[in-house]
Amino acid sequence: MKLTTKIIPDNKIYAYLSLYPGKDPEEVRKILCDDLLKRMKRVAATAIIVILLSILSIFFQKTDGMNVLERENVNGSTVSVPILVVDEWGEQEVLLTLNPLRMNEGEIDAMQKEVSDALDRTVLSGNPSFEEVYHDLYLPEELEGFPVLLSWSTSDPGKIQTNGRVLNDDLENAFYVTICARVLYGEEFRLYERQAILRPPILNEAERKARSLLKELSEYENETEGEKEFVLPEEIDGAKIEPVRKKKIPKALPGVFLGTVLLVGAWSNFFSSLGEKKKARFTKAEIQCKEFLSKLSILLAAGMPLRGAWKKITEDFGEEKDRGMLYENMAVTCREFMNGSTENTAYERFGERMEITRYQRIAAVLSQSVTKGVAELPELLSAEIREAVADEREQIRIRGEQAGTKLLMPMMGFLTIVFAILLVPAFITF
């Protein structure tokens, strides 16, 4: 069956079968698929037209506001903008120099107040206030939300560096340092200045001990700068010293993990494949049930004994390329006949091997008919045939619904593409 004939689910075929009297399901499927493909071609042609119109609309869009050029901010650079000049002499392209925005004194002073307030919040970086500075400050080169550039200086770089680092480890008392920022507004500038009072760091006993050891260790390292290798002392003032080593994963561990994963995966895949194979065999046996019952009913109606009819059907199934579990179990039953097993026992064993409720019920009917006679057997088989046909239609309906569910994601994908085709040009031209 071609791929195009699988587009429409089976339940749709049976739903519209009455619209085509005298046509079988496959002929109806072909007719509906041809109609669907024609509609899809028309939709595709419409989509292409929409895309082309969207592209053309970009070229024919209104040019309102196209002559407006936006300058860069006060600290931006000068840019050259190509300008097309059209007069009676023709067209000529020239370069216009567009300078950055320039602010007047009043605008700069107004913005400087906002910049100062923002810097007061930013520079402290978690310190309580400028009167209580315990750890590093944050001295940015740019301030978010303002078109300014900042260059920093301090009255004592040995205590507060221009990158904001605070060196207060050896402080015993408060220390005053002035920090100053030159705030650039293009060619103009303003000053931001604050006095910071450095306080000795607040350390617990362990931190004090660690800093003291670090100081001694740094002095020792400075004395051995001429040596290629630096050997850590084993201890300082009774404290054990050793480098922090990264934990290494044992070399065998990845191999063990990978091997375990492969074993578990192979185990799981083996049973998964067996389950799929069993499911496929059961499905084929359920499909063959109607044919099996029909042949058995016809042969019995023609006067053939039940054992003979069983052997005949077994031979017919044996001629098929993919014979399936039904033939295999029927062949086993035939061998049991040849080995002297009674018919009712052989039929009961057949039902047990099949492990399918319908076949177990059929096997029970056949076993009872051997004892009670075959007078009621044709009627019972006809009832089974009708039930098998009903179940087959139900399975077709279920498979059709599953196919419709699988088509839901592609439909959503197509819908997303259509929305993108319609909305993207609109946003571009907005």
Domain end, chosen from 224, 245, 261, is at 224
Residue 412 covered by a domain = no
Residue 285 covered by a domain = yes
Residues 335, 290, single domain; the answer is yes
Residues 55, 92, single domain; the answer is no
Residue 336 covered by a domain = yes
Residues 145, 220, single domain; the answer is yes
pLDDT tens digit sequence for 288-329? 888 888 888 888 888 888 888 889 988 888 777 777 788 888
Residue 275 covered by a domain = no
Tokens of 101: 């925005």
Residue 326 covered by a domain = yes
Which stretch of 30-39, 246-255, 270-279, 338-347 has the lowest confidence by average pLDDT?
246-255
Residues 49, 90, single domain; the answer is no
Structural domain containing residue 294: 281-375
Residues 82, 220, single domain; the answer is yes
Residues 189, 307, single domain; the answer is no
Looking at residue 192, what is its pLDDT?
94
Q: What are the residue ranges of helices labelled H in 302-342?
A: 306-318, 324-338
Q: Give me the residue label for tokens 């498979």.
A: 399
Residues 126, 219, single domain; the answer is yes
Residues 88, 215, single domain; the answer is yes
Residues 101, 196, single domain; the answer is yes
Residue 389 covered by a domain = no
Q: How far apart are CA 213 and CA 311, in angstroms?
A: 97
CA angle 335, 340, 345 (to 5 degrees): 80
Residues 51, 138, single domain; the answer is no
Residues 204, 106, single domain; the answer is yes
Residues 94, 210, single domain; the answer is yes
Instruction: HSE, CB side, 13 Å, CA atoms: give it for residue 35.
Output: 7
Tokens of 334: 């035939």
Whole-model pTM: value is 0.40
Q: For the residues 91-107, what does the mean pLDDT come to?
A: 81
pLDDT tens digit sequence for 186-198? 888 999 999 999 9
